[in-house]
Amino acid sequence: MTDRPASEVLRRLYWAERLSIRQTAAAIGMSYQGTRRRLQKLGRIRTKSEGMTRNERRPFSEDRFVRAYLLGLRAGDINAWKKSPHTIEVRVSTTHPAMSRLFSKAFKSYGHLMQLAEPAYLPGRYRWQVKAHLDPSFAFLIRKPTSVPSDKGEFYRFLAGYSDSECCWSVYPQKNRIRTSWVVETYDARLIRQIKNGLESDGFHPLLYRIAGNRRLVGKDQKAIHGRRTKFRLVLSRAKEVQALAGILMPLSSHAEKISKMSLILSMPHGDWSKLGPKLRSIRMKTEREVRRYTEEAERAYYTRKVNRSNAGVVG
């Protein structure tokens, strides 16, 4: 082999296909030490923990708009933490298949996706925990965002991610007329005020309400984790403004259920409820069926894993 083809083959086998140094050496017919020296000249040798990674991980693309959307998701339901020096784990627990599909679309091109069934907080309910192991370049997701982007393009992509994760698009009748709203509830006062200011600077008129937190929150050990917390609700309810926001966010959204709602708002923002009601009921019934099927699958998967674990501990 000439130097150039040899280098290309080494890169493909060791970094792209993630073979070990010994496997790479056997594949090209070189000695272990000789292969190791060549790899060291071409790039950094993987550490032991990196060598145990079975699935290829792509570094973050550095696209500022993708970054803004992912930070919006992180500000909502998505969790992230540093699992090891070379692994950022992102995860979400959900009963909605639309959220699982959103998560998959956001991260599948960057790392390996996993799904695990688990009990939900409500007794007798089950959900899926979906997670991905990502390259260290995703470390920007570890800390929950405390501010929104100042650039308008990034702001609306951040808002699209946050809306996909946290918001509720409502369509309802009032005196047989169609009414719409966009609502977000959160305990993050600083972030929600910045979102309000960002929308106001573009001519929207959102209303921010303070909701007294009387509910006692407990952790898994039943110990109180918070006393009273103040919750905030941001509401956009002017019909033309809800339609305008839906027009901005729908092309940026990845949440199928919310895209359906936005599409409905854009197609029939005003008029007779009797024409829109059946379409909305159809969306709700479809969502309920999907959620029921998804949680039932989680319950079966959870008990199957539990039985298999128990059987694995039995010595015949």
In a domain, 297, yes or no: no
- The verdict on 116 and 158 lying in the same domain is no
Whether residue 299 is contained in a domain is answered as no
- Residue 130 shares a structural domain with residue 16: no
Residue 196: per-residue pLDDT:
97
User: Does residue 294 form part of some domain?
Assistant: no
Of 141, 174, 203, the residue that ends a domain is: 141
Count of domains for the chain: 3
Q: Does the pLDDT value for residue 272 go beyond 90?
A: no
In this prediction, residue 1 has a pLDDT band, given cuts at 50, 70 and 90, of very low
CATH number reported for the structural domain that contains residue 191 in this entry? 3.10.28.10
Confidence of residue 205 (pLDDT cuts 50, 70, 90): very high
Residue 242 shares a structural domain with residue 280: yes
Q: Tell whether 27 and 91 lie within a shared domain.
A: no
Mean local confidence (pLDDT), 153-170: 96
Is the pLDDT at 19 greater than 80? The verdict is no
Whether 270 has a pLDDT exceeding 80, the answer reads no
Strands 87-94 and 112-119: unpaired
Is 244 inside any structural domain?
A: yes
Residue 74 CB contacts under 8 Å (≥ 6 apart), including other chains = 80, 141, 144, 145, 161
Between 294 and 275, the more confident residue is 294
Residue 168 has pLDDT above 80, yes or no: yes
* CA 297 to each of CA 82, 114, 310, 311: distance values in angstroms, whole numbers, following the listed order: 29, 15, 20, 21
Q: Are residues 73 and 27 in the same domain?
A: no
Report residue 2's pLDDT band, with 50, 70 and 90 as the boundaries.
Answer: very low
Q: Which two tokens stand for residue 290?
A: 């999907």
Residue 314 banded pLDDT, cuts 50, 70, 90: very low
| Domain hosting residue 32, numbered range | 3-45
pTM: 0.76
pLDDT on residue 184: 95
Specify if 117 maps to a domain: yes
Q: Does any domain span residue 232?
A: yes
